[in-house]
Amino acid sequence: MWQQYQLVILIHLRNLTKTRYPPSHSYSPVDLVKKEYFPYDELSNEDRRRFKGYYDKGQVLWILDGYDELVQDIPEQLKDIFDHVRNTQHHIMTSRPFAIALPYDIKLEITGFTNDNIQKYVEQFFDQIKDEIDNSSLQALKLLSFLQNNPRIWGIVHIPVNLELMCSLWCDTNWSETTTLTMTTVYDKMTEWLCRRHLEKRNISSSQMTKEYVYKHFQQELGFLESLAFNGMESKNDLPSNDMNLLATEFDMWQHKWKKTSIAKKPSNVIDSLNALLSLRSFYPNLYCLFELFAILPVTVSTAERSFSTMKRIITILRNSIGDERLSNLALIHIHHDIASNLNVEDLINIFCKDKRRIKFTNK
């Protein structure tokens, strides 16, 4: 297959950083190959000539992996060489679909598992561990039923790695009491399972450990990831200022303002706080913005409904209740801010208005 190529070179584009490729040097295609494949060895003049011959004749197939990890921050000293490879050489480029806007004759999208693939994978997974658990075939059926009855989870298990994690989680977790499954629950279970598996690799038994005790073993690692996530959210906020110290100062000033005020005169809800901030907006711009966002979050319906007073009370409660599922959705929207910002709000509202009422009446 593809016998016209003498070399196939895989370049992980995320490695093309300023640290690995200092701006004080100029680079050629052979320099990329040396850096990525022979970082501690020198290429002979013969090797360099041979590579240049293949390169000039178009006998090198480049696999450029992860364009989305490079496009936002490509080092200036590597732009020319990257563009030259992309414009003159045979190559295959991989990327998340939202990140690539380059014209190509052929585009292929990896869509993950189909519904039939999911069923076959689950059956094969439990068949391979039938000697380790009881009623493996029954467990496979239970898992499939469970996934199909949770549409949000059914959506993400079309990604192979997520399905593998769910199968492994099913073997180690009691899901019988779980009636409502959210993305938060799944990711929490995944985190716990990965931590336990890592403990097993270190020959530490975790079977008798509680989740809290397991997390204590990874306090530094989890703390680092939490800090990383928070810093990521800090860099993409909708506040007037990106300075978190300024926001903290506004909070301190706001608290100090009400310290000597009686409870009866203090703002008791978001609306009261917004009214109190209205005349002081110029002094508390970030705080005012946060209260505005907090006031908007409970709104869930875009069309008016007429009903009796009892029905109005129920609707009011539902509209102003933020459950775990909605918080998960809001978190996902914030994390994938780049995608959400490109959506047409008017189109979304029109679709939402045309949909049927989704209010569920349950006794809890």
pLDDT per position as a tens digit, 84-106 = 999 999 999 888 765 566 777 78
* Mean model confidence pLDDT for the chain: 78
Task: Give residue 200's pLDDT.
Answer: 85
Per-residue pLDDT band for 311 (boundaries 50, 70, 90) equals low
At 164-209, the pLDDT tens digits run 888 888 876 666 555 555 667 777 888 888 888 888 888 888 878 8
> Beta strands 90-94 and 60-65: pairing type?
parallel
pLDDT digits (tens, 9 = 90+) for 122-175: 999 998 888 888 888 888 998 898 888 877 788 778 888 888 888 888 876 666
- pTM, whole model, 2 decimals? 0.43
Which residues on adjacent β-strands are paired with residue 8? 61
Mean pLDDT calculated for residue range 278-298: 73
Is residue 308 scored above 60 in pLDDT? Answer: no
Higher pLDDT: 34 or 233? It is 34
Which residue did the predictor score with more confidence, 329 or 224? Answer: 224
pLDDT in the model for residue 151: 76
Residue 320 is given by DSSP the state T
Q: Has residue 60 got a pLDDT over 90?
A: yes
In the chain, domain spans:
7-99, 115-229, 297-354
Helix (H) or strand (E) holding 63: strand 60-65
pLDDT band at 306 (very low <50, low <70, confident <90, very high): very low
> Does residue 322 register a pLDDT over 60?
no
Is pLDDT above 90 for 9? yes
Give the list of residues 6+ apart from residue 251 with CB closer than 8 angstroms, or none. Answer: 287
Is residue 223 over pLDDT 50?
yes
Between 63 and 354, the more confident residue is 63
Q: Residue 357 pLDDT > 90, yes or no? A: no
Q: What string of DSSP letters covers 120-166?
A: HHHHHHHHHTTTTSSSHHHHHHHHHHHHHT-HHHHHHTTSHHHHHHH
The 3-state DSSP composition of the chain as helix, strand, coil percent (nearest 5) reads 55, 5, 40
The dihedrals phi and psi of 341, each to the nearest 5 degrees, come to -70, -20
- Axis crossing angle, helix 183-201 with helix 160-172, rounded to the nearest 10: 70
Specify the pLDDT at position 315.
Answer: 57
